[in-house]
Amino acid sequence: MIVPVVKEILKADDQVALENRAAFDAAGVAAVNVMGSPGAGKTALIMAAVERLSPDVQPGVIAGGVASSLDADRFAARSIPVVQVHTGGCCMLDASMVHTALLHLDLPTLDLLFIENVGNLICPADYTVGADLNLVVPSVPEGHDKPYKYPDMFAAADIAVLNKADLLAGSGFNLGYFECGVRMVNPDVEIFHVSSRTGAGVEPWLEWLLQRLGKRTPELV
Amino acid sequence: MIVPVVKEILKADDQVALENRAAFDAAGVAAVNVMGSPGAGKTALIMAAVERLSPDVQPGVIAGGVASSLDADRFAARSIPVVQVHTGGCCMLDASMVHTALLHLDLPTLDLLFIENVGNLICPADYTVGADLNLVVPSVPEGHDKPYKYPDMFAAADIAVLNKADLLAGSGFNLGYFECGVRMVNPDVEIFHVSSRTGAGVEPWLEWLLQRLGKRTPELV
């Protein structure tokens, strides 16, 4: 007799993802699942976004990781509601972990929730957490071949935000090759180039994000 | 009744790792397990090493990944024996995958085998593949907080080779903070700074590596 344990567990987690989504909808919260390699700049990108929101768009953050609260500390220092989730060694956030984190957030007071996934280009692609949008953050120093080497991650994304674009000059990063790879696995993906450090490109990306999520954009400061 | 399936599978894989190690020893091959984030420069570092080996130190490569043969192609183009292993979506190489790859290499003709693990700072730390040495490749653009956020990877490493050191100036990367984090989880680790792109620091690192592995170093060209 074969017991398909893993399959059943995945199905249960998908059910929790639907519950998370229902909770977001009920509270009027738009949730973005932010994925990328270690050091791609997920935290910096989220920080660049929340710094540019007008006061009537209240952000919140769930920060996933295997250790430390360094990311969560950065948001807490700016009085942004944040929950740090340690995955117990797991290489991604799943819906149940997000569900538990939601118990520690006052969801109806939030408008925009960033779910910062574990730094990893493989595992998070296989799990839905119930977000409205899946966003992947590749970065220039990682090289232009990432969509070819990690196609599932780019296939799972609604939007790819190429970070550290200030390092493009002289890097050998071939934008055409990169974008061709992204569109090969995912013709519908939106691609933006930003530098969280300099701020270049952050506002057009954020404007698109807020429009897509049904949040008013004129509040952009 | 509880059946500890995962534990037993891990034990079986550990047994295969011992067999890999015995095969390396019998063939006089020193094997290095190279781990790091996507885009940290694992392939570039290995390439920088093999380009500097004298002709009587024969390298070989096992290149792990979830998709494409881009890494293996680079070695094959230089007539370096290489096997590309696709992990079937798995976020690391395990001993059994390496064991299978060894069937495609003429081990007695090799002296130094680089096992390039899947780009990931989490999963590969939990698996031994039977290598003589575990090497982690952090890189400057990933930021100085990686040992704090991914301690298990740095704890599992015998040596940390900080790549892309040519990007240190003006990056905000705090070397002292980085090295403190590495030594906090692993006081015995060796730390080197290199730039695979410029070649800076590659020879001192390679000399240490060959000495540690019992390979003669004067052959360095």
What one-character-per-residue DSSP string does A101-159 give?
HHTTS-GGG-SEEEEE--S-SSGGGG-----SEEEE--BGGG-TTHHHHSHHHHHS-SE
One digit per residue, the tens of pLDDT, for chain A of length 221 reads 555 566 666 678 899 999 999 999 999 999 999 999 999 999 999 999 999 999 989 999 999 999 999 999 999 999 999 999 999 999 999 999 999 999 999 999 999 999 999 999 999 999 999 999 999 999 999 999 999 999 999 999 999 999 999 999 999 999 999 999 999 999 999 999 999 999 999 999 999 999 999 875 544 44
Q: Within 10 A of B108 (CB to CB), how many other CB atoms are there?
A: 10
pLDDT at position B144, please? 98
Residue A212: burial class (beta carbons within 10 Å; 0-12, 13-18, 19+): middle
User: Do residues A182 and A159 lie in contact, with contact meaning Cβ atoms separated by under 8 Å?
Assistant: no
> Chain A residues with CB inside 8 Å of B67's CB?
148-152
Nearest to A143 among B39, B67, B149 (CB): B39
Instruction: Give the Å distances, CA to CA, from A20 to A31, A109, A128, A132.
Output: 10, 16, 10, 10
Q: Which of A136, A185, A183 is CA-nearest to residue A158?
A: A136
Does B139 sit within 8 Å of A139, measured CB to CB?
Answer: no
Residue contact B39–A139, C-beta within 8 A: yes
Q: Which two tokens stand for residue A75?
A: 């948001």
Q: What is the mean pLDDT of chain A?
A: 93
The ipTM, to two decimals, is: 0.89
What is the full DSSP assignment across B87-118? -TT-SS--HHHHHHHHTTS-GGG-SEEEEE--
Nearest Cα residue to B51 out of B39, B41, B62, B43: B43
Continuous segment of H or E residues that includes residue A178: helix A175-185
With CA atoms as reference, report the closest residue to B110 among B198, B221, B17, B26.
Answer: B26
Interchain CB distance below 8 Å, B149 and A38:
yes
Chain A residues closer than 8 Å to B91 by CB: 91, 120, 122-123
Question: Which of B39, B126, B164 shows the shortest C-beta gap to A37?
Answer: B39
pLDDT band (50, 70, 90) for residue B155: very high
